[in-house]
Structure 1
Amino acid sequence: MFAEAISGGYSTKAQAPVTEQAEEASIIATDRIHKREGHNPRRIRSKSKMSDLRESIRDKGVIQPILVRPHPQIDGEYELVAGETRLLLSREVGRTEIPALIKHLTDEEMLDYAATENIQRIDMSPVDAGLAAQALLAQGKDKEEVCRIMGWTPAFFDGRIQLTHCCDEVSQALVDEKIALGHAQLLSSLRETSQKNALQAILEKNLTVDQLSKIISGMALTLKAAAFDLTDCQTCPHNSNTQTSLFADSKSLGKARCLNKECFNKKNQNHLDSVKADLSESFHRVAFTSELAAGTTTVIVESGTYGVGEEQATACQSCEHYGATIDNTLGSRAAVTKNVCFNLPCHTNKVQEHKNLIATDKAPATDNSDKPATQVDTATSEAKATETTDNSASAAKSKAAAKPAKKPEVAKSAIPRKIVDLHHQVHRTAAAAHVYEDDKTALIISVLSMMSDANVEPDKKPQGWPMNLTGENRAKAAAMLDTLSMEQLTTMQRRIAAKVMQKAKSSFGGENEKDAFGSVAVWVAKSREVDLTKHFTMDSEYLEPFTKPMATQRLKDSGFAEAYDKEHGEKAFAKLAAGKKGDLIKAVKDSPFDFAGYLPEGLKLKA
């Protein structure tokens, strides 16, 4: 059946596009609408505007419909997408129904709609805009994507993200128009305690933005706030204390100020850059806190409410989103936070998977599917309880929580992009060598290439045949063609070649494991069990893009560490690995060790 279908006639007729589901307007009971915790970009609201809106809803009801989607877990219920303020105030004044637009949305689309709906509203404050962007970043979107969704320039993005570092008191003061945007931007560079103190001074003394800027500039030059070593500053002529004493002590440095702003800033930045460079040897990503939206990172821990488990915590160390942050706010003295995750959606999933695993391990053997789960974290249970009071919703959640949990999958190792590309070139080189010797594989690739270039496909497509031959779909089609005989393939090749002569349409791809030709190369290397060791040898240049811990592990796995100890003495490699990454790479470069036959993680292909 497959042979008949695949070797039949071909059609180039385009498929009809999938139409988007239309939205539906309806009046919905307020108790059937559920909020998702942390979904609403808005956090700070103007007290006066809230009061006016409350009275308007009490008098006339909600005029502009809110946006909801069918609840993904509870039949007949809805999940709020946008319009939380209108929903909360409606409940507060006793209204039991609210106009709503119902739209079928994915989780990602839900967040996009919430952000854009809020940003397009006239009363969207700068703080709300920053929080909307923060929510999008927390879902894994990058700066470019957020700017596209919001319609912002990169400079405008930076300004709004800066406001996410304001404490709640500063944000509320800005929304209530007690301070200007310039005040808030200046205060966002301070630690929370300093922000609160400075805000009080602004309100009491009616400080202008310029006056506040001068005060903060003076604070920035206080030697006590410096991140760098102050030894040289004790007798520096630009130290304010040396004007009254030639022998400044450590205590006086706490009150001293630097009178050379250029020197101070240079030393401070050099120290920050040095700390970042050192951390970059052991972490995949290192960022200053000022570069990040507040609340878009988290610390990885093994146990507790937000634990991911011992196995996953170890695996996270090889993830591209694993790193460290450096606090560069005024007075923080470059405080470092390690074991940071920069991918909150992934971290949330790993935490939940770990909780499910613990709940399954503790659950009794008897069927408790109709009883509330007791192993769920107490804080999480309380939070969920406040989200909905509907009995059916609680029952549905309890029932789902009691189901056996699947053991969480360990995150994949985040091999540097340069290494991934190098690995792929080995895959392609090995595949090319095999294809040169194997007639059937060469025929399959030529048939697929012609089909793609001519944009033709079977009229009677066999079950499972991909919709197109782009990207990894071509490898899938190659596996299906591999079930045909050489005679059938040869016949197909001639039929397609004849059609190609009538219709030529070339397409080109890149050179990585995901593009059309690259995916086939991976398929050849994997399915034909090609010997990759003939096409790869590890050396110092290969190890350079890795962090020091990852390079060290590969040198241990390959046998280099053991050989190094034999040549230089016991624990010589451990001492080498504890030093600078450059010395480690140089030792590999200078060593006669033969890495032949070793394949590192990421290069091996499993069937």
Structure 2
Amino acid sequence: MQVIGLQAGASAPSAVIVDASLATINTETAAHTTAAPEASNATTPHALIQIVSPESVAAGARDVSTLVRTPGIVKLKFIEPGNNPRDYFDPKEMQELTDSVRVNGIAQAILIRPIGDGKYKIIAGERRYRAATAAHGDEYDMPVMIVDCTEEEADVLANIENTIRADMSPTEEGKSAAKILGQVKGDRDEAARLLSWSRSKLDSRVALMNCSEQVQKALNERVIKLGHAELFASLAKENQDKLLPAVIERGVTVNDLKSLIEKAASKLSAAIFDKTDCAGCQHNSSVQGTMFEACITDGSCTNSVCYKGKTEAALEAMKEGLKEEYPVIRIVRAGDNFAQVRIRAEGPGSVGEAQAEACRGCDNFGAAISAIPEHLGKAFKDQCFDPVCNQKKVAENIRAQTEAKAALAKATSGTADSKDSSKGAAQDKAKAKPAEVQTTVSEGDKVKEYRLGIWRGAMKKEVAKDYQLSVQYLIALAVTGNIRHVNQSGMTAVFERLTGEKKGSDLIAVANQVQQMGPDNLDTATKMLAVTAMNDLPETELTRLAKHVKLDLTKHWKMDAEFLNLFTKSQIELVAKQVGLDKALGDGFKKLFTEKKEPLIAKLLGVKDFDYAATIPPVLMYK
């Protein structure tokens, strides 16, 4: 499949394509549940030769410090490299390590995890693995510590293990941290906790992901210092690559580089905010050129605080402008890698038309606004902020398409000698229908509150119109201990309206007032006892009563502006389709969604002869 999305700070462009196959997804899924193989025997060779004190561990645990490490011996030929956060292995150091291993062997076990079929993948210790392979070949018995964990947990362990050894470069740390950040959906505090880092260290490391590939390589190989890389991270990647060779060749210090970048920063031509006020500003280098002989004359802003402040304000304004359309809008900054992918209905990396429609109502559906220099201010719409879920949906779509093609091929081959009409009928029969997808909008707090209010109101009306039902429910409420939910203030208001006077000061006084009430008023008061209980009855009990009475919500509700205003435009589109407005409007339906939210709602509610109470949207129904 292809996953297309906004990848902040990576060496490739921000809108990148990451190729993966269904087989890869299946392998990763299997790795989560594959147990360590038993000791080898004559008929079935396995990688594991010896296991000491084996213990089991639950895969998927979030706290990697609790994962059990089981010591053992595994031949090198059954071990393969993992997702090593380290990109650079110093040749001289590797040769020294290989020479040592050739004489002394491996003294410290490497960390591995089972991936099925008697194979293992390295979590930490690839340098020792390479040295042992070079020194002794793939039949060498390698000391190992086996951890049964998920790939995500392995990423965290690999980062922690390599960081503790204090020989990972900052960009290697940043790349690994950015991947973990994506796995926790951009929650930087959670990523820092998993890595046992301070928040400031995490922020500084992932910011290095805005360095170009060449700058990262130079830092990994210790050709430049961390200070150089941190300064380079403030520039667009193309400018980094232009400046890097000169910095290396001339031995430019960090302070000198800072001075150079200050001169090149804050180009007004790249600004995304209104530059009207900049025309006569004293911090505009073009204005300075009219006053000073030695100055920058390329239209730059020398007031970085002002420039950054206006840029941030412009990004926030863009975010605000998308709130009517999407439930989630995020400003993506350097290091926020792997956090979102583009949802596609068809083509490579697609989830299918039905699923793409369902995704529009999800809490993780939205838009990303780039705060990265190359794409500053660009909005990436129709994004999924749960890439793990997206990959699963893409895999399901690929599987469905594969099965449909196989069925069609079988049907075609089976009717090769038949008439065209029979062949066509067989082909139509073989076409697999897409899997049913439940399409509903997300249920935020406001939606839940609205839904509960609608159901309470409907139940009160049902009980109020049926004296016999109200008496039955009063008895049921009393027997189950729910009579306490009869609302005293509400009942007092009803009582005073029926009697035409204030309630008495004590029980006897009120009892005397009740005795003076006529039969009709007594019936009304009895019904209202049950009605007021509907106001405070727990939601679960309320819905059970509604199902018991077979409540028909179409008699108590119809779509209106209050309801539609609970949703974004993407969610409104889904709701409108659920009630049939797309069919009622025909070709004009899609065009309506170019409107702002308020006029859109007005036009959706103004369709002539449309019954807005005929269909209840799924989001208003209790399961």
Question: Which residue of the partner structure matches residue 101 of structure 1?
Answer: 145
Output the amino acid matched with 1:421. K
Would you say the 8 A contact 2:343–2:383 is kept in 1? yes
Question: Which residue of the partner structure matches residue 220 of structure 1?
Answer: 265
Which of residues 129, 132, 135 in structure 2 aligns to 1:90? 132
Superimposed CA distance per residue, residues 88-137 of structure 1 (whole angstroms, 9 cap, x where no aligned partner): 44334424332112233345544443443334333243323323322223
Question: Which residue of the partner structure matches residue 579 of structure 1?
Answer: 595
Question: Which residue of the partner structure matches residue 338 of structure 1?
Answer: 381
Tell me the C-alpha RMSD between the 2 structures: 4.7
Would you say the 8 A contact 1:62–1:90 is kept in 2? yes
What is the distance in 1 between the residues matched to 2:236 and 2:353? Answer: 33
Correspondence 1:297-312 to 2 at 5 A: 297-312=340-355
Which of residues 38, 59, 78 in structure 2 aligns to 1:32? 78
Which structure has the bigger radius of gyration?
2
Question: Which residue of the partner structure matches residue 231 of structure 2?
Answer: 186
What is the distance in 1 between the residues matched to 2:240 and 2:442? Answer: 41
Identity of aligned residues (%): 32
Question: Which residue of the partner structure matches residue 603 of structure 1?
Answer: 620
What is the distance in 2 between the residues matched to 1:88 and 1:173? Answer: 23
What is the distance in 1 between the residues matched to 2:165 and 2:219? Answer: 18
What is the distance in 2 between the residues matched to 1:194 and 1:525? Answer: 66
SS of 2:368's partner is strand
Is the aligned partner of 1:116 residue 2:166? Answer: no
Question: Which residue of the partner structure matches residue 276 of structure 1?
Answer: 319
Question: Which residue of the partner structure matches residue 502 of structure 1?
Answer: none
Which of residues 425, 428, 448 in structure 1 aligns to 2:452? 425
Which of residues 128, 134, 138 in structure 1 aligns to 2:178? 134
Question: Which residue of the partner structure matches residue 469 of structure 1?
Answer: none
Would you say the 8 A contact 1:431–1:522 is kept in 2? no
In structure 2, do the counterparts of structure 1 residues 530 and 110 end up closer, same or farther at CA, with 3 Å as the change threshold?
farther
Question: Which residue of the partner structure matches residue 120 of structure 2?
Answer: 78
In structure 2, do the counterparts of structure 1 residues 79 and 267 end up closer, same or farther at CA, with 3 Å as the change threshold?
closer
Shift of 1:158: 1.7
Would you say the 8 A contact 1:224–1:255 is kept in 2? no
What is the distance in 2 between the residues matched to 1:42 and 1:431? Answer: 62
Question: Which residue of the partner structure matches residue 571 of structure 2?
Answer: 550
In structure 2, do the counterparts of structure 1 residues 70 and 418 end up closer, same or farther at CA, with 3 Å as the change threshold?
same
What is the distance in 1 between the residues matched to 2:254 and 2:317? Answer: 33
What is the distance in 2 between the residues matched to 1:527 and 1:113? Answer: 53
Output the amino acid matched with 2:575. R
Would you say the 8 A contact 1:287–1:326 is kept in 2? yes
Correspondence 1:353-432 to 2 at 5 A: 353-363=396-406, 410=437, 413-415=440-442, 417-422=444-449, 425-426=452-453, 429=456
Is the aligned partner of 1:289 residue 2:332? Answer: yes
Would you say the 8 A contact 2:81–2:121 is kept in 1? yes
How many residues matched?
Answer: 468
Would you say the 8 A contact 1:427–1:521 is kept in 2? no
In structure 2, do the counterparts of structure 1 residues 77 and 304 end up closer, same or farther at CA, with 3 Å as the change threshold?
same
Output the amino acid matched with 1:148. R
Question: Which residue of the partner structure matches residue 189 of structure 2?
Answer: 144
Correspondence 1:198-217 to 2 at 5 A: 198-217=243-262
Gaps of 5+ in 2: 1-54, 59-67, 411-431, 464-468, 483-537
Question: Which residue of the partner structure matches residue 516 of structure 2?
Answer: none
Would you say the 8 A contact 1:319–1:414 is kept in 2? yes
Shift of 1:197: 2.3
In structure 2, do the counterparts of structure 1 residues 534 and 117 end up closer, same or farther at CA, with 3 Å as the change threshold?
farther
Shift of 1:29: 1.7
In structure 2, do the counterparts of structure 1 residues 423 and 262 end up closer, same or farther at CA, with 3 Å as the change threshold?
same
Which of residues 169, 175, 199 in structure 2 aligns to 1:125? 169
What is the distance in 2 between the residues matched to 1:59 and 1:439? Answer: 88
Shift of 1:28: 0.7
Shift of 1:147: 2.2
In structure 2, do the counterparts of structure 1 residues 535 and 143 end up closer, same or farther at CA, with 3 Å as the change threshold?
farther
What is the distance in 2 between the residues matched to 1:441 and 1:119? Answer: 64
Output the amino acid matched with 2:285. S
Question: Which residue of the partner structure matches residue 383 of structure 1?
Answer: none
Output the amino acid matched with 2:620. L
In structure 2, do the counterparts of structure 1 residues 214 and 117 end up closer, same or farther at CA, with 3 Å as the change threshold?
same
What is the distance in 1 between the residues matched to 2:612 and 2:618? Answer: 14
SS of 2:73's partner is strand
What is the distance in 2 between the residues matched to 1:181 and 1:126? Answer: 7
Would you say the 8 A contact 1:576–1:584 is kept in 2? yes
Q: TM-score, normalised by structure 2?
A: 0.62
In structure 2, do the counterparts of structure 1 residues 244 and 26 end up closer, same or farther at CA, with 3 Å as the change threshold?
closer
Is the aligned partner of 1:347 residue 2:393? Answer: no
What is the distance in 2 between the residues matched to 1:296 and 1:139? Answer: 8
What is the distance in 1 between the residues matched to 2:433 and 2:98? Answer: 46
Gaps of 5+ in 1: 1-17, 247-252, 368-404, 448-516
In structure 2, do the counterparts of structure 1 residues 69 and 52 end up closer, same or farther at CA, with 3 Å as the change threshold?
same
SS of 2:339's partner is coil
Q: TM-score, normalised by structure 1?
A: 0.63
